[in-house]
Amino acid sequence: RIDAERLWASIMETAAIGATEKGGIRRLTLTDLDRAVRDWFVARCTEAGCSISVDELGNIAARRPGRDNSLPPIAIGSHLDTQPTGGKFDGVIGVLAGLEVLRTLNDAGYQTHAPIEVIDWTNEEGSRFAPAMLASGVFAGAFDRDYAYSRTDREGLSFGAELERIGYRGDEICGARRLGAFFELHIEQGPILEAEGKTIGIVTGVQGMRWYEVTVTGMECHAGSTPMHLRADALVAAARMIGAVQAVGLAHAPDAVATVGLVEVRPNSRNVIPGEVFFTIDLRHPDDAVLAAMEAALRERLEAAAREDGVAMALTRIWDSPSVHFDAGCIEAVEDAARTLGFGARRMVSGAGHDAAYIARVAPTTMVFVPCEKGISHNEAEKSEPGDIAAGADVLLRAVLATDER
Amino acid sequence: RIDAERLWASIMETAAIGATEKGGIRRLTLTDLDRAVRDWFVARCTEAGCSISVDELGNIAARRPGRDNSLPPIAIGSHLDTQPTGGKFDGVIGVLAGLEVLRTLNDAGYQTHAPIEVIDWTNEEGSRFAPAMLASGVFAGAFDRDYAYSRTDREGLSFGAELERIGYRGDEICGARRLGAFFELHIEQGPILEAEGKTIGIVTGVQGMRWYEVTVTGMECHAGSTPMHLRADALVAAARMIGAVQAVGLAHAPDAVATVGLVEVRPNSRNVIPGEVFFTIDLRHPDDAVLAAMEAALRERLEAAAREDGVAMALTRIWDSPSVHFDAGCIEAVEDAARTLGFGARRMVSGAGHDAAYIARVAPTTMVFVPCEKGISHNEAEKSEPGDIAAGADVLLRAVLATDER
Ligand SMILES: NC(=O)NCCC(=O)O
Ligand SMILES: NC(=O)NCCC(=O)O
């Protein structure tokens, strides 16, 4: 059994790096704060006797040797980056539970067959650099390295330059190593476990998701002297489109979701009719065929809105992450662990994307979910119980050891 | 007659200060670029033999003495600040035509009865610090000095601190001096003069305008794992409200205009349901009673939208500038000047706000408009013909001298 207090203390220690006034974390990927938490992680893993390797995407792997170090490692991991107004648990608990598993094995003097690795994946959130899960995606061959390097944030800074700047561009080729299996502990980020009074979510897969960028171009003009009928107001058109995105989500609810999360208005001045609006769309559904139908409906509605408002509109799909089905063996290992430990558990599909979704392409993979209050995540108020997190870490430990035994 | 080439050269010289790639100007008030153009203006006026005074709001007055310097000066002026993506003419020509009038009087060795002043008013645009016409408003007693000082830009920097920083916080009490009359030359910023083939707009007044700030508060949550029906999406609600603002404008068209120019989404991350949206509203109508009715309709519609989307909404009116009627004597002076010079002219009401709208409260005031291409303004593509600007400056000169004769 893991040490619940030690794990909680680690979570609270890292929560201080980028802590916000409202009790959350603002620790965007490849910022100085990301460097700080990476340094912390490397130091703790080194203290725990691990060797550290950093690949060319900045993914950090801390390795505890096994009896047979020619075996591919069993890996545990998640991410330490956060949303701009993120919580203390999203991602973080998956990495720190991995550290706690290593510490527990050390305390017990337990030797595994295969090496065990704890991995911090770079840029999982996708908030600073789109798309999400970028570096686990490169690891799994979904993107190539230079594509990742060339991604820019909204200020125009590139992933490659920022990775270099914080000193975490390693030498190892990303994806060159094989993993024997991959387990990721994460908060559910949804309300089901809490509502059903269950402690463990056994994650069978991740729904499909697609990201889009839209640029609406109208005509910048004076807000006081330009009559209504002579306007080509990019914002009025974008507002109609935002309504259309919601309608596409509602048309396929309850399984579908559709969100506009980021908007930039230009020139963004009180007395200027907006000439250009940039916004993003996030569409998700567990069934890829439905997702494709949602995209078709979206395109049609956005084109209609542009025509109606006399503006130009460019819609680009920048990311397509199809639905993922996790490995049956790993899922059973988690299910067995939860049963043995006596935790209420249920199978579920993840609505959120996770590094595990990409790693599943190259290694047997699954995830363990624990409840979070009211399902609230990507919010500074995000909250999980120490006991639930400890339960998840215990399940992780057991599932890893069972996999190692096989 | 003024020297058209010299005036055009001055316009092009100042257009280099903050020039944009697209041929416009980005010279927001109280920035380093604003300081640079102020320094240029002070240097040129000093060369022209003027004494300079700067008041506590940073308004710069360059004075050419008259025969009787106990008479209140006849003032000419406008503003040198621009929109973020502004044109080369908006405001600028009103100040530089004033300088050109002084140079012309110097060349002719003409002595006026009253002193003549050219004034650059601070923060006319209202883009960096709301509301617009802030410093002419203080001069006219519409706002008090400390209110102006306390206004902040979207980064939280205050007007007072920025004025101090660029070194243009003067000692003179703002509004302490009397003006004998005030004339402002400006581009029309609307399509009427061009459409009718007229050169001079004789401005009889300015329509009423009101500015509002709206904050919509929903619930930040994960875009992937939060079902549509459990959301309180501040952006979906704001989008509906932006449509409602347009509807309020259209309901009172063609005289009414209603615009949302500035939007800020929080946290503005692709996979986070927006928790808060801040946006601004600009409503205008020549009839203050209609403007009041528009405000009532706006409030009702925004409240309904908030209810429908399950979000909170706070609507605050931050500015009310009632419709303005200019001085009959000044209007006649402009009309006579245009007739004498043989320019096609027509009376008109300004859709845009101007410093003259406030100065009209404390001095006989009017404005002279000249055409701009297709009425496009608050746009880097803003364009006016040298000949039209020169015509406006000649009308200005004549109207000023006629007023001085009386
Ligand atoms: N788990 C998580 O919050 N991932 C971010 C990627 C996404 O699902 O949008
Ligand atoms: N003339 C002009 O563009 N003024 C800005 C103030 C306004 O009308 O919004």
Task: Determine the Cα–Cα distance for residues B226 and B218; give it in Å rounded to an integer.
Answer: 13
Q: Look at residues A184, A186, A125, A208 and name the one whose alpha carbon lies nearest to residue A159.
A: A125
pLDDT at site B209: 98
Choose among A266, A274, A352: nearest Cβ to B222.
A352
Helix (H) or strand (E) holding A266: strand A263-266
Cβ–Cβ contact A152 with B under 8 A: no
Distance B151 CA to ligand 1 centre (A): 39
Task: Determine the Cα–Cα distance for residues B277 and B300; give it in Å rounded to an integer.
Answer: 19
With contacts defined as CB-CB under 8 Å, which chain A residues touch B227?
253-254, 257
What does the block give as tokens for A176? Answer: 């060159």
Task: Determine the Cα–Cα distance for residues B160 and B157; give it in Å rounded to an integer.
Answer: 9
Vertex B365 angle, CA B359 and B369, to 5°: 105
Q: Pocket residues for ligand 2 (CB within 6 Å)? A: A 222, 224, 271; B 90, 124-126, 132, 189, 352-354
Q: Residues of chain A whose pLDDT is less than 50? A: none
Q: Look at residues B76, B122, B121 and name the one whose alpha carbon lies nearest to residue B99.
A: B76
A271, B259: Cβ pair inside 8 Å?
A: yes
Helices and strands counted in chain A (H then E): 12, 16
- In DSSP notation, A280-323 reads EEEEEESSHHHHHHHHHHHHHHHHHHHHHHT-EEEEEEEEEE--
Choose among A130, A253, A268: nearest Cβ to B263.
A268
Cβ–Cβ contact A349 with B under 8 A: no
Mutation pick for ligand 1 pocket among A124, A127, A379 (CB with most ligand atoms within 8 Å): A124
Contacts of B373 (CB under 8 A, 6+ apart): B194, B381, B382, B383, B384
Cβ–Cβ contact A83 with B under 8 A: yes
Choose among A132, A227, A350: nearest Cβ to B253.
A227
Task: Determine the Cα–Cα distance for residues A84 and A68; give it in Å rounded to an integer.
Answer: 42
By C-alpha distance, the chain B residue nearest A254 is B227
Backbone angles phi, psi at B80, to 5 degrees: -110, 0
CA-derived radius of gyration, chain A: 22
A377, B221: Cβ pair inside 8 Å?
A: yes
Choose among B229, B258, B375: nearest Cβ to A254.
B229
Mutation pick for ligand 2 pocket among A225, A270, A271 (CB with most ligand atoms within 8 Å): A271
Q: Residues of chain B whose pLDDT is less than 50? A: none
Sign of CA dihedral A133, A139, A143, A148: positive
Mutation pick for ligand 1 pocket among A27, A133, A283, A285 (CB with most ligand atoms within 8 Å): A133
Distance B378 CA to ligand 1 centre (A): 40
A226, B375: Cβ pair inside 8 Å?
A: yes
Q: Indicate the annotated binding residues of B.
A: 79, 90, 125, 186, 378
pLDDT at site B118: 98
A378 carries a ligand binding annotation: yes
Q: How far does CA A84 lie from the centroid of its chain?
A: 13
Do you know the residue count of chain A?
Answer: 406
Residue-wise pLDDT tens digits, A118-167: 999 999 999 999 999 999 999 999 999 999 999 999 999 999 999 999 99
DSSP-based three-state secondary structure for B396: helix
By C-alpha distance, the chain A residue nearest B284 is A224
Cβ–Cβ contact B349 with A under 8 A: no
Q: Which amino acid is at A265?
A: V
By C-alpha distance, the chain B residue nearest A237 is B243
Q: Give the number of the atom of ligand 1 that is nearest the alpha carbon of residue B225.
A: 8
Choose among A190, A268, A280: nearest Cβ to B262.
A268
Distance A352 CA to ligand 1 centre (A): 5
Distance A304 CA to ligand 1 centre (A): 31
pLDDT at site A406: 85
Choose among B242, B265, B275: nearest Cβ to A262.
B265
Distance B344 CA to ligand 2 centre (A): 25
Q: Give the number of the atom of ligand 2 that is nearest the alpha carbon of residue B132.
A: 6
Contact (Cβ atoms closer than 8 angstroms) between residue B103 and residue B48: yes
Q: Indicate the annotated binding residues of B for Zn(2+).
A: 79, 90, 125, 186, 378
Cβ–Cβ contact A224 with B under 8 A: yes
By C-alpha distance, the chain A residue nearest B229 is A254
How close, in Å, is residue A382 to chain B by CA atoms?
9
pLDDT at site A60: 98
Cβ–Cβ contact B69 with A under 8 A: no
Q: Pocket residues for ligand 1 (CB within 6 Å)? A: A 90, 124-126, 132, 352-354; B 222, 224, 271
pLDDT at site B406: 86
CA distances from B165 to B34, B35, B159 (A): 12, 10, 10
Does the global pTM surpass 0.85?
yes
Closest ligand, as measured to the CA of B350: 2
Cβ–Cβ contact A243 with B under 8 A: yes
Vertex A182 angle, CA A367 and A320, to 5°: 70
How close, in Å, is residue A400 to chain B by CA atoms?
27
